[in-house]
Chain A
Amino acid sequence: MIASSWLLVAFPALGALILLAGGRRTDAWGHLLGCATVLASFAYGVALFFASDGKPTDTTLYSWMPVADLQVDLGLRIDALSLVFVLLITGVGSLIHIYAIGYMSDDTDRRRFFGYFNLFVTAMLILVLGDNFVSLYLGWEGVGLASYLLIGWYQWKPSAATAAKKAFIMNRVGDVGLALAIFLMWKHIGSVSYTEVFAGIGDVDSGVILAIGLLLLLGACGKSGQFPLQAWLPDAMEGPTPVSALIHAATMVTAGVYLIARANPIYNATPNAQLAVVIIGAFTLLLGAIIGCAYDDIKKVLAYSTVSQIGYMMLAVGLGPIGYALGIMHLLTHGFFKAGLFLGAGSVMHGMNDEVDMRKFGGLWRTMPITFVTFGIGYLALIGFPFSAGYFSKDAIIAAAFAQEETWRAWVFGGAAVLGAGLTAFYMTRLMLMTFFGKRRWTELKSEDGRDFHPHESPPVMTIPMMILAIGSAGAGAFFVFNGQLAEWLAPSLGALQEAEHGVVPHSAVPFIVVGISALGVLLAWLIFGRREIAVERQPVGAVVRAARSDLYGNALNEAVFARPGTWLSRALVYVDNKGVDGFVNGLAALLGGSSGRLRRLQTGFVRSYALSMLVGSFLLVGLLLMVRFA
């Protein structure tokens, strides 16, 4: 059973191959094949889940990059952690694939869309199943490719093309971090496989371990949209909504959390890297929540909510053995409710002629009752309404943040997490009120072909996945109530979940604080957006909102520090290369050779010029040589 685990990857890989290489011939049934392959993987995953005891079993498929003493295999690890991810990816993935049949029904390239979607599932499964860091890297950049292709799905829109490119490049920055971490492992431990790297940590200098931890964190920040590499994720909403749900909410963006949880033996050995993870998590959860309060674009709000929620997960896995399982727990519940919320948002857009501006929604609960109810359940789960999925998973993280040994850390990070909960309640309530409640603010919709267009509920192929995810959002909580069953299951991969013993705030008080703060957030949102009319036009705003709407100037910073100087440098060097390196040589030759006109006409001129250029090159070389030797 476990020996054939490659089948998990093979199904969607085959699907992608057939759909992308088959071309238009597969148009008629492509979407069905796309769903079937993911469902097959899901079924196999479920069977594996029951057959496995959660202990790591590595299966080597074949030797991938063997060079002298370097052994890099393409291998799969089946253990508690990877199986949980397999179920999330293929389970939620199947639902979103089915939803996409409806959502993409008007797109003439729907078959290609499913090809990319299958490609994504393949890469994501390789990422979580790899039994060494290079296999993980294969999946890691593979999902980056799928994400690039799908963000840029509407590639004729310049904004979509730019967003896709931005996502890939910012991810590449993170990927360099991951790559350098792997190089360090090879240099100091002499292996890239999980088993040997984790076993060899004890013998390595602590500075090296710290460096590995920080470089892995850089990789995690890129993939998971964490500060300072968060700016690509909101732009990624240019992709079709099922993409946002699957890749940019439920699965791919949580890969950073997976990486840190997977590398837990490394982080356990380096408290300073752990602290860095916690700081990034706490900072990003606030950053995302603050910006989420300001946007009017429903998908952007959800995107920043994702940034913020992943901040919670990072915070959790940065806490070490008291947090790893909690981070994964929140990752799972978030996978359910955020996927549900995105599908709901997609359903709203589907019914509203692709409008995303919440100021032009209002009162939609009447016209889209199923969307309203399923979205509402996701909303309650996200703000942590008592006994919903988010209530259990988020509260546990906040309690753990308060339970750190050092008091200042407990107050700072616990406080940030509580504040984030309040902000979450505020922006999500705002979103609910603006979208589903109040008076209708939409008028006279016209579709592209000029027909009248009335907001309507989506077809069953879309609403049924939404209902299942809503049930998951509500019910997944119950799964965790039974005394931390998930944590127990994950113990073989992450170590036993240590109970936080002491805390600056009593453990039992945490739920009350969180619910109280969240209630405050809801109330505030209602006072501002529920009682009053919402203007359809943009209103003048204060400095804080303006800053938040500018993504707290994250993009401006990137632009000023990297993009613009980069462009200048490139232009300047092109000039130097054309005029300088060549021109210098030509000019010098002209000076020495007399007439520059003669030089251009005669080949002898060429000879002199090139001979001279060689000479100049040689002088440069000798000069460098002297510098090197006497340095």
Chain B
Amino acid sequence: MTLLLAIILLPLVGAVAVAGLRANDRLATAAAFGFSLVTLALVAPLWLSYDPDGARLQQTSSIDWIPPFDIHISFGIDGIALLMIAVIGVLVPMIIGLLGFTDKLPEGRSAGGYLSLILVQQSLTIAVFAATDVFLFYVLFEVMLIPMYFLIGGYGGKGRQYAAVKFFLYSFLGGLIMLAAAIGAYVHAADELGTGTFDWETLAQVVPNAPLTTQIWLFLGFFLAFAVKAPLVPFHTWLPDAAGEAPIGVAVLLVGVLDKVGTFGFLRYSIPLFPDASKELAPLVLGLAVAGVLYGSILAAGQQDMKRFIAYVSIAHFGFIALGIFAFTAQAQVGAVTYMLNHSLATGMLIIVIGMVIARGGSTTISAYGGMAKLTPVLAGMFLLAGLSTLSLPGTNSFISEFLVLLGSFETRPVFTTLATIGMVLAAVYVLWLYQRVMQGPVRGDALLGASGGPGAVEAPETGAKKSVRDVSLKELGVLAPLVVLIIGLGFYPKPALDVVTPVVDQTVSIVSTASDSEGSNE
């Protein structure tokens, strides 16, 4: 058994164990936390054993699944998948740690049920990134919706049912179209080789030889699934609902990791399998990407609800990622891949901090807060740090990726890139404006002053604020500290992450540059 298989299976074993502990919430939480830590610990040797300059797929394993169609259960990782698996490993212990602080379970539900869903989700998400059989990838792509559906629908806010169904259907239908395209690829392989296959490495040899028209249709099939997942404008409307209704920990998992399957798909499937089509349709994707940057940013600025705010910020960031991927330079694409990592950390921290704010005030509405920095200075500082990383301030992790995306994209696509730089200014607007409304000015707002007289409305004498509005506790600080270290650490020393992905990206970019030049790719 490879190390990779162990990392996929361990959370699944954990999920079963934790589900068995539904009677005891404390024990269930401790067990889930333990399993997630061991998984994280296993990522370290996985990282160390990965050779960036070696074969594209490493830690490979394969067993037969449906022999008539040459379908295998096969796994393997490249540098991009490794980065994603590492970030899941880091985030899941935090998500478990958040239970009880920012996430309260609904009446009558056990921690065991919630946490085993989280662990199943972790296992499936790792497996999606590790799958090297296109059919297996499709199956996992759809199956991984199921735990998320229950996490949103079962543990979310008021509109959770609507949000969960919407999330599921958008992704599911996108996936179905991808299945059709995957079968198309199979058929093409059958035409060329005599026997069809879903093996990624074989398909990556064969499918690029398909005529441009075929490639374009297959590309669009995959693209639709990934554009919904990522999400790109105009396929984005499920995300604000899903992220807005999901519990904080689930939102971290959804926005931080699950959505990355979309951009990962561009890199692993769209470009290597359909290089000519990728080149041909790049202007279209870039247009959607830049539209996403601007549209997401402007909408983020206009949001009244903190959790929906995060969704729109992410839409803007996915625009940057797509821009970097389809600009086809090494710098831009390395930037995009590290953006996937850095967005998980920065937005993950922002969601968690916002969750802490909401846990204190009880409202997700921005205007219910004001002047909170005076009551909770450390929380305000953390809020600001997460915000600064979100707006890609140099010295934070996100700067590296955004800068590389723009620098690299400008080389081939100056017009699109220049438009996207407007997003840099807009990011400052939406982050600092949110910070001002929630944290600065005089202490105000129903959520802090408890005018509604809800639970915890006992006033602290000196400020008139609710008793529940206290600064961050040591345990909360324990969740935030690793993120702070990673955000600043990767801001000043991103080399380990860059080195892992550069060879893979070089290879992906060269696939496109050597692809037959059907038409000039000028803007």
Within 8 A of B (CB), among A528-581: 566, 569-571, 573-574, 577, 581
Q: Are A68 and B331 in contact (CB under 8 A)?
A: yes
Knowing A68-B331, A156-B442, the reply to whether A172 touches B169 (Cβ < 8 A) is no
A606 to B172, CA, bound (A): 13
For residue A134, CB closer than 8 A to chain B, the reply is yes
**Chain B nearest Cβ from A200, distance in angstroms:** 15
Map CB proximity to A onto B409-444 as digits: 1 under 8 Å, 0 otherwise: 011001001100110110011001100100111110
Q: How far is the CB of B227 from chain A (nearest CB, A)?
A: 8
Give the CA-CA distance A20 to B380 in the complex, in Å.
Answer: 13
Cβ of A66 and Cβ of B498 under 8 Å apart?
yes
Is A28 close to B, CB under 8 A? no
| B302 & A573 in contact (Cβ 8 Å cutoff) | yes
- Residue B347 lies at the interface, judged by CB distance under 8 Å to chain A: no
Question: For B467, what are the chain A residues with a Cβ–Cβ distance below 8 Å?
Answer: none
Is there contact, CB below 8 Å, between A180 and B169?
no
Complex contacts, B407 vs chain A, CB 8 Å: 70, 182-183, 186
Contact A179 B302, beta carbon cutoff 8 Å: no
CB-defined contacts of A173 to chain B, threshold 8 Å? 425
A179 near B403 with CB under 8 A, answer yes
Contact B440 A156 (CB under 8 A): yes
A156 x B428 contact (CB < 8 A): no
Please choose the segment from B76-84, B183-191, B257-265, B388-396 that sits at the chain A interface, where 4 or more of its residues have CB less than 8 A away: B388-396
- Does residue A483 face the partner (Cβ distance < 8 Å to B)? no
Tell me which residues across on chain A come within 8 A of B303, comparing CB atoms: 574
Is A387 interfacial (CB-CB < 8 Å)? no
Hey, what's the 0/1 contact readout for A142-172 against B, CB within 8 Å counting as 1?
A: 1001001000100111101110110011001
Q: Which of A67, A161, A620 contacts B334 (CB 8 A)?
A: A67
Confirm or deny: B159 has a beta carbon within 8 angstroms of a beta carbon on chain A. no
Within 8 A of A (CB), among B427-483: 428-429, 432-433, 436, 439-443
Question: Which of A66, A172, A607 contacts B424, CB < 8 Å?
Answer: A172
Instruction: Please name all residues of chain B whose beta carbon is closer than 8 Å to the beta carbon of A180 when the two chains form the complex.
Output: 410, 418, 421
Question: Which residues of B are found within 8 Å of A165, using beta-carbon distances?
Answer: 432-433, 436
Cross-chain contact of A183 among B393, B395, B417, B422 (Cβ < 8 A): B417
Which of B19-27, B267-275, B281-289, B348-356 is found at the contact surface with chain A?
B281-289
* A628 on the B face (CB < 8 A): yes
| A-B pairs with beta carbons under 8 A, tally | 172
In the complex, whether B179 has a CB less than 8 A from a CB of chain A is: no
Proximity string of chain B (372-404) to chain A, C-beta cutoff 8 Å, 1 when within and 0 when not: 011000100100000010000111000010011
Stretch at the interface among A43-51, A438-446, A608-616: A608-616
What sequence of 0s and 1s flags, for each residue 299-340 of chain B, a beta carbon within 8 Å of any chain A beta carbon?
101110000000000000000000000000011001100000
- Whether B10 sits at the interface, judged by CB under 8 Å, is no
Give the number of chain A interface residues (Cβ < 8 Å): 67
Structural contact, A161 and B495, CB atoms closer than 8 A: no
Q: Looking at the assembled complex, report how far the CB atom of B266 sits from the nearest CB atom of chain A, in whole angstroms.
A: 15
Q: Are B388 and A155 in contact (CB under 8 A)?
A: no
Q: Is B174 an interface residue (CB 8 A)?
A: yes
Q: Is the CB of B425 within 8 A of A161?
A: no
A580-605 vs B, Cβ < 8 Å mask (1 yes, 0 no): 01100100000000000000000100
B8 at the A/B interface (Cβ < 8 Å)? Answer: no
CB distance from B440 to the nearest CB of A (A): 4
Q: State whether A176 and B421 are in contact (beta carbons under 8 Å apart), knowing that A66-B498, A617-B234 are contacts in the complex.
A: yes
Find the B residue at minimum CB distance from A184.
B410
Residue of A nearest to B170 (CB): A610
Known: A138-B394, A182-B407. A68 touches B298 (CB 8 A): no
Provide the bound-state CA to CA distance between A225 and B356, in Å. Answer: 38
Chain A residues, CB < 8 A from B298: 566, 569-570, 573
Contact A67 B302 (CB under 8 A): no
CB pair A606–B166 under 8 Å, yes or no, is yes
* Residues of chain B contacted by A624 (CB below 8 angstroms): 284, 287
A65 to B400, CA, bound (A): 7
Determine if A570 and B299 form an interchain contact, defined as CB atoms under 8 angstroms apart.
yes
Q: Is the CB of B237 within 8 A of A67?
A: no
In the bound complex, residues from chain A placing their C-beta under 8 Å from that of B284 are 621, 624-625, 628
Cβ of A27 under 8 Å from chain B? no
A482 at the interface (CB under 8 A from B): no
A469 to B235, CA, bound (A): 61
In this assembly, does A498 line the interface, its C-beta being within 8 Å of a C-beta of chain B? no
Which of B374, B400, B418, B506 is within 8 Å of A68, CB to CB?
A: B506
Asked whether B502 is an interface residue with its Cβ less than 8 Å from the other chain, the reply is: yes
Q: Are B283 and A577 in contact (CB under 8 A)?
A: no
- The answer to the question of A63 belonging to the interface, with a C-beta cut-off of 8 Å to chain B, is yes
Q: Are A141 and B394 in contact (CB under 8 A)?
A: yes
Q: Distance in Å from the Cβ of A2 to the closest Cβ of chain B?
A: 22
Inside 8 A of B181's CB, which chain A residues have their CB? none
With contacts A165-B433, A175-B424, A628-B284 known, is A142 near B394, CB below 8 A? yes
Closest CB of chain A to B448's CB: distance in Å? 13
> Is there contact, CB below 8 Å, between B432 and A155?
no
- Residues of chain A contacted by B395 (CB below 8 angstroms): 138, 141-142
Cα A145 to Cα B422 in complex, Å, equals: 19
Tell me if B493 is interfacial: C-beta within 8 Å of chain A: yes
A618 within 8 A of B: yes
User: Please, which residues of chain B bring their CB within 8 A of the CB of A142?
Assistant: 393-395
Contacting pair A577 B394 (CB below 8 A): no
Query: Is B75 in contact with chain A by the CB < 8 A criterion?
Result: no
Nearest A residue to B332, CB-CB: A67
- Answer yes or no: A451 CB below 8 A from chain B CBs: no
Chain B residues near A69 (CB-CB < 8 A) = 330
Q: Is B494 an interface residue (CB 8 A)?
A: yes
Distance A164 CA – B431 CA, assembled complex (angstroms):
13
A62 at interface (Cβ–Cβ under 8 A)?
A: yes
Asked if A137 is an interface residue, CB under 8 A from chain B, the answer is: yes
Per the 8 Å Cβ criterion, residues 450-489 of A in contact with B are none
A574 to B169 Cα, complex, angstroms: 23
Given known contacts A570-B302, A574-B303, A610-B170, is B411 in contact with A186 (CB within 8 Å)? yes
Q: Any chain A CB within 8 A of the CB of B406?
A: yes
Q: With a CB–CB cut-off of 8 A, which chain B residues contact A618?
A: 224
Q: Are B404 and A65 in touch, CB under 8 angstroms?
A: yes
Indicate whether A187 reaches chain B with its CB closer than 8 angstroms.
Answer: yes
A182: chain B residues within 8 A (beta carbon) = 407
- In this complex, which of B170, B299, B302, B400 has the most chain A Cβ atoms within 10 angstroms of its Cβ? B302
If A142-B394, A566-B298, A606-B165 are given as contacts, then 15 extra A-B residue pairs at C-beta distance below 8 Å, sorted by A number, are A23-B378, A66-B499, A67-B331, A67-B408, A67-B498, A141-B395, A158-B442, A161-B440, A168-B428, A168-B432, A169-B425, A169-B428, A570-B298, A606-B166, A613-B170
Point out residues on A near B: beta carbons under 8 Å.
Answer: 20, 23, 62-70, 74, 134, 137-138, 140-142, 145, 148, 152, 155-158, 160-162, 164-165, 168-169, 172-173, 175-176, 179-180, 182-184, 186-187, 566, 569-571, 573-574, 577, 581-582, 585, 603, 606-607, 610-611, 613-614, 617-618, 620-621, 624-625, 628
29 contacts between A and B (CB under 8 A): A64-B493, A65-B400, A65-B404, A66-B495, A67-B331, A70-B331, A74-B492, A141-B394, A157-B441, A158-B440, A164-B432, A165-B432, A165-B436, A168-B432, A172-B428, A186-B407, A186-B411, A570-B298, A570-B299, A573-B295, A573-B302, A577-B237, A581-B234, A603-B165, A613-B170, A614-B173, A617-B224, A625-B284, A628-B283
CB within 8 Å of A: which residues of B?
162, 165-166, 169-170, 173-174, 177, 220, 224, 228, 234-235, 237, 240, 281, 283-284, 287, 295, 298-299, 301-303, 330-331, 334-335, 371, 373-374, 378, 381, 388, 393-395, 400, 403-404, 406-408, 410-411, 414, 417-418, 421-422, 424-425, 428-429, 432-433, 436, 439-443, 492-495, 498-499, 502, 506
Closest 3 CB pairs of A and B: A570-B302, A161-B440, A183-B410
